[in-house]
Structure 1
């Protein structure tokens, strides 16, 4: 396709890399691809809900992803290749066939009540967005937060979805106990670029308003400029940090674009469709910053890149972070000592069994 279907980011639906065979649409026999593709919900009953992480590149050890796949349709999303594990495509399937984790809250409660559980902050949204559009209907993230609040368990949320303000009643109460913090992902202040880069995510102004509302409610908020893409949004770095600081953000981070597995092909299709005049230059700068490849998975390199261009980005970020007061860490250190397993009906009777 020369353009993605309405409201979608990917222009194709490549076969997943584990499939033993592949099929392609015959445009003569099957006609044109539809201009619009609806979202399909797939229910899953997870056996476990808390994922453990040992990567030195991320500041958390535990995470929960309420959904597999993401309606936001961000063309650069590093989570796209994971859809291949479910016999689905990292392309359009990733943003139109969403796996919803039914019973996630009940499973979380079981894991928190385990005798060997040790409390460490949990991150919601490490892989896919917990506040993507389906959350309005499914409320899986809301139910998880209700459990975490009841157990007084610390949580960090990463999102580009303004729906997070729906849960201010829970988050503000947890913030008063130093049990939650939020990172708002901001990629651009340009609504037109947002429309093609992140089709169903909240607009820049809406995300800034979410920062204001969270801050006003006492919830500590940071900004994650992710990803920074050469010749696409890197020129906005200082403007993004300035706008987010003015809205109330306390700290900031950034990620240089990553293109693992199928993402590199999907991203190149997007470049050719929207920025054909600079597509090769963008890819050249990415390769210069990724050890000559489109992606570099080495720890210590994959989030920031290396080389002259990546170092220039790092210097600009440090200067802007200092200029706009986004080095603050006050209020973002979460407490684990308040964690408590609430009693259930019948627990006291068990003492006399």
Structure 2
């Protein structure tokens, strides 16, 4: 029974799961073998243990990641965490855990790496003479405001460095802990150096709880948008991912609710299922929505050239075919009707420079 074909290994009978998106721990795509536990009938039954999150702290040599992808709007990003406890079953970042020799399934949600010392590394990197300023994107792979951030508090240090250097920054999150740092985001936004994207997949609380088991409820995310907007932070609502059959009917409703809450910009991305995400999502559908599982996948494949996923540049974020065209038209019409701005608000890079130190000569102009 190899998960790479279609089926996943069975759940570990000694583990008790609570609020997890994945149900099992398939091997990553770089592993030479799949390991499956089988009972020979001789094992003594043991009491199930609750599967808890493990956090390992890492001291990386660098903190800014560069990319040159032609369909991504930023060229640099920071991800303070590897893995994400939110446990969103559709998360396109799950396959990144395979690079660590860990499972994109339960390991992605329960074995988190935290990059402590990120603020110090950031200051070193942007302080180099060779550094050229452009907006840094936060949360492009995993959420920097996932639950563990409330305790580790990596983000305030990063934001203080960016504030002191007048460095523009963007954020993608669904984590309520962002409001803990509202004063820092407001300071950056007051200088046109910050914009925040809040992901809202559905307004159905029960569906959200099943798909995104440890992420804030939809109503909480709308309150996040309101609080950020009232503090002067430009907010983009991200209707992402749009899942055929399950959530696509909510596009206009989500956009309307977010606009009422204060969002000024909006974007969407059709569901992507790269690498190990596809079998994990199929398994989730069979466990939670078996009656519509095939319908969901048929509609998705209609936008992905008959496959579960289309990784091609220029296609992966948009899809193709009549299904994708209709989705794009619906979104554009709703965005225009509700008065959303297109794209993202421009950020000011002109003030970037080292913070003033004691004894520095003051500028008169």
**TM-score (normalised: structure 1):** 0.94
Q: Please state how far the C-alpha of 1:102 moved relative to its aligned partner.
A: 1.4
Give the one of 338, 341, 346 matched to 2:354: 341
Equivalent in the alignment of 1:72: 86
Q: Please state how far the C-alpha of 1:243 moved relative to its aligned partner.
A: 0.2
Contact 1:122 1:155 in 2 (8 A): yes
Equivalent in the alignment of 1:52: 66
**Aligned Cα RMSD in Å?**
2.0
Equivalent in the alignment of 1:326: 340
CA distance in 2, matches of 1:46, 1:293: 37
CA distance in 2, matches of 1:116, 1:229: 43
CA distance in 1, matches of 2:206, 2:46: 26
Q: 2:345 aligned with 1:312, yes or no? A: no
Equivalent in the alignment of 1:20: 32
Equivalent in the alignment of 2:297: 283
Q: 2:135 aligned with 1:116, yes or no? A: no
Contact 1:5 1:34 in 2 (8 A): no
Equivalent in the alignment of 2:20: 8
CA distance in 1, matches of 2:86, 2:323: 29
**Can you list the C-alpha shifts for 1:300-337, whole angstroms capped at 9, x where unaligned?**
1101111111111111101110111112568x210001
Choose 263-272 or 301-310, whichever is displaced more.
301-310
Q: Please state how far the C-alpha of 1:91 moved relative to its aligned partner.
A: 0.2
Q: How does 1:121-270 map to 2 (within 5 A)?
A: 121-270=135-284
CA distance in 2, matches of 1:257, 1:215: 27
Q: Please state how far the C-alpha of 1:270 moved relative to its aligned partner.
A: 0.2
Contact 1:57 1:299 in 2 (8 A): yes
CA distance in 2, matches of 1:45, 1:8: 28
C-alpha change, 1:35 and 1:314, in structure 2 (3 Å) is: farther
C-alpha change, 1:295 and 1:12, in structure 2 (3 Å) is: same
CA distance in 1, matches of 2:174, 2:269: 15
CA distance in 2, matches of 1:34, 1:288: 42
Task: Provide the aligned length of Structure 1 versus Structure 2.
Answer: 347
Q: Please state how far the C-alpha of 1:20 moved relative to its aligned partner.
A: 2.5
**Can you list the C-alpha shifts for 1:133-153, whole angstroms capped at 9, x where unaligned?**
000001111211111111110
Choose 306-315 or 227-236, whichever is displaced more.
306-315
Contact 2:68 2:75 in 1 (8 A): yes
CA distance in 2, matches of 1:226, 1:31: 43
CA distance in 1, matches of 2:48, 2:334: 44
Q: Please state how far the C-alpha of 1:58 moved relative to its aligned partner.
A: 1.9
CA distance in 2, matches of 1:271, 1:72: 18
CA distance in 1, matches of 2:130, 2:205: 48
Q: Please state how far the C-alpha of 1:219 moved relative to its aligned partner.
A: 0.6
SS at match of 2:207: helix
CA distance in 2, matches of 1:30, 1:142: 49
Which blocks of at least 5 consecutive residues in structure 2 are unaligned?
A: 1-9
Contact 1:6 1:35 in 2 (8 A): no
CA distance in 1, matches of 2:229, 2:116: 31
Q: Please state how far the C-alpha of 1:232 moved relative to its aligned partner.
A: 0.6
Q: Please state how far the C-alpha of 1:34 moved relative to its aligned partner.
A: 4.4
SS at match of 2:222: helix
**Can you list the C-alpha shifts for 1:15-52, whole angstroms capped at 9, x where unaligned?**
11222333222355485894731000011111111111
Which blocks of at least 5 consecutive residues in structure 1 are unaligned?
A: 349-353
Contact 2:95 2:104 in 1 (8 A): yes
SS at match of 1:282: helix
Q: How does 1:292-311 map to 2 (within 5 A)?
A: 292-311=306-325
